[in-house]
């Protein structure tokens, strides 16, 4: 493939990290996601969180009902459970039997609706043992939560204090280091020794490939560019783009598209999360094209994710065309509105 084509064809991608919420909001966001992706890992940080197989099954039923009411037939939600200090090993076995795809570790207090998260990973060792045994992946929000650690350092410190010891204790546990944002995380995952096992991977969002932390403060405070983990310095963006476009199967697409209403973002204490689902693929294409690596997009977006999760690759294809798409200033979100990432601007690539 030439690296400046006007159109590219890909096996249909999946989104390996997505927030769709619930109720009427869920309908609006499912439309955007299902236009581009065949499957998505559905995050469990609802209020209250999805902590049991029974809650996940009920959530799946609500998602399927929404899809049906929207006339969307080709989209599969992949369900996750929210790990707490009280999750039992038995729940892991039930989850495996029920076709739950993964468990999510939110360190308590790290981000939106994480209060019920894990206070100390050591409390979960019995559960992690069961996960390792049955081959249940652990998806990790990789930030420490101590107030004395600078917010820009929380991911790097998490690697040393939590992730590295965890991988030593559970060498065969499948771990996805979610939405990585730093050079340290990119290089840790790239260089990790896994003894030939497919046991460590990372997802990367479009905003962390396209923006650095200046974007939060460009001419004034920009709440729609605020997410967690927060955007970092340019050197980190460059390192993320390098590993994402390297062709390494350890890095794959996870938008972390996280809808919050315009009002909840434009507030004295605004919520964390960027809504990228409207044209996420266009954003990733722009990032890959910026370093002449469009030929590496299909692996990142469509192949390495299913391979890591031992799921079949999609067979249908989609095409992206180099045709600017302007992003609306606002989109409907239940009975409110949402400001999508890059609102009022153009994205160079769009779905054919």
User: Which does residue 228 touch among ligand DOR, Zn ion, none (CB within 5 to 8 A, set by kind)?
Assistant: ligand DOR
Judged by beta carbon, residue 14 or residue 256, the one nearer Zn ion is: 256
Query: Got the DSSP string for 288-322?
Result: HHHTT-GGGHHIIIIIHHHHHTT-PPP--EEEEE-
Q: How many residues bind Zn ion (CB under 5 A)?
A: 1
Q: Tell me how far apart the alpha carbons of residues 285 and 294 are, in angstroms, rounded to a whole number.
A: 7
Interaction between residue 228 and ligand DOR (CB under 6 A): yes
Question: What minimum distance in Å lies between the beta carbon of 123 and Zn ion?
Answer: 22
Question: Is residue 258 involved in binding ligand DOR (CB under 6 A)?
Answer: yes
Of the candidate residues 256, 286, 289, 298, the single one contacting Zn ion (CB under 5 A): 256
Candidate list 66, 111, 248, 314; residue touching ligand DOR; CB under 6 A: 111
Measure the CA–CA gap between 268 and 213, rounded to whole angstroms.
19
Residue 315's alpha-carbon distances to 10, 12, 154, 203, 230, in angstroms, are 10, 7, 39, 22, 35
45 vs 184 by CB, closer to ligand DOR = 45
Distance (Å, rounded) from C-alpha 171 to C-alpha 230?
29
Min dist. Cβ of residue 202 to ligand DOR (A): 14
Is the Cβ–Cβ distance between 309 and 254 less than 8 Å? no
Q: Is residue 335 flagged as an active site residue?
A: no
Binding residue for ligand DOR (CB under 6 A) from 17, 141, 183, 342?
141
The binder of 272, among Zn ion, ligand DOR, none, by C-beta within 5 to 8 A per type, is ligand DOR
Measure the CA–CA gap between 165 and 161, rounded to whole angstroms.
7
Spatial separation of the C-alpha atoms in residues 80 and 103, rounded to whole Å? 5
User: Interface residues for ligand DOR in 36-65 (CB under 6 A)?
Assistant: 45
Candidates 90, 256, 307, 335; catalytic one: 256
SS3 263: helix
- Asked if 112 is part of the footprint of ligand DOR (rule: CB under 6 A), the reply reads yes
Q: 101 or 132, CB closer to ligand DOR?
A: 101
CB neighbours of 146 closer than 8 A, spacing ≥ 6? Answer: none
| CA–CA gap between residue 126 and residue 124 (Å, rounded) | 6
Question: Applying CB under 6 A, which residues contact ligand DOR?
Answer: 19, 45, 111-112, 141, 227-228, 258, 272-273
Question: Applying CB under 5 A, which residues contact Zn ion?
Answer: 256
Show which residues are catalytic.
256
């Amino acid at each position: 493939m030439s690296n400046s084509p006007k159109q590219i064809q890909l096996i249909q991608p999946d989104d390996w990290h997505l927030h769709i919420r619930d109720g009427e909001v869920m309908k609006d966001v499912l439309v955007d996601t299902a236009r581009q992706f065949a499957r998505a890992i559905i995050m469990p940080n609802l209020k209250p969180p999805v902590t049991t197989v029974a809650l996940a099954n009920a959530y799946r039923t609500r998602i399927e009902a929404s899809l049906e009411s929207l006339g969307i037939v080709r989209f599969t939600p992949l369900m996750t459970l929210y790990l707490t200090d009280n999750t039992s090993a038995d729940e892991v076995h039930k989850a495996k039997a029920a076709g739950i795809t993964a468990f999510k570790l939110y360190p308590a207090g790290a981000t939106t609706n994480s209060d019920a998260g894990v206070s100390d990973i050591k409390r979960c060792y019995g559960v992690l043992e069961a996960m390792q045994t049955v081959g249940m992946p652990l998806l990790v929000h990789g930030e420490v939560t101590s107030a004395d650690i600078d917010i820009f350092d929380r991911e790097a410190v998490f690697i040393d204090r939590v992730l590295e010891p965890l991988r030593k204790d559970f060498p065969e546990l499948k771990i996805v280091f979610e939405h990585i944002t730093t050079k340290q995380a990119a290089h840790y995952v790239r260089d990790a020794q896994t003894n030939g096992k497919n046991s460590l991977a990372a997802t990367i969002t479009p905003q962390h490939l396209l923006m650095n932390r200046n974007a939060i403060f460009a001419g004034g405070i920009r709440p729609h560019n605020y997410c967690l983990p927060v955007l970092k310095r340019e050197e980190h963006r460059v390192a993320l783009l390098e590993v994402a476009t390297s062709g390494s199967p350890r890095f794959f697409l996870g938008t972390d598209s996280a809808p919050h209403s315009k009002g909840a973002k434009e507030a004295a204490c605004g919520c964390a999360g960027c809504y990228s689902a409207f044209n996420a693929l266009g954003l990733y294409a722009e990032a890959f094209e910026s370093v002449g690596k469009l030929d590496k997009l299909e692996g990142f977006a469509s192949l390495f994710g299913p391979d890591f999760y031992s799921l079949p690759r999609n067979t249908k294809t989609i095409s992206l065309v180099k045709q600017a798409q302007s992003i609306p200033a606002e989109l409907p979100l239940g009975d409110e509105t949402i400001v999508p990432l890059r609102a009022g601007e153009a994205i160079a690539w769009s779905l054919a």
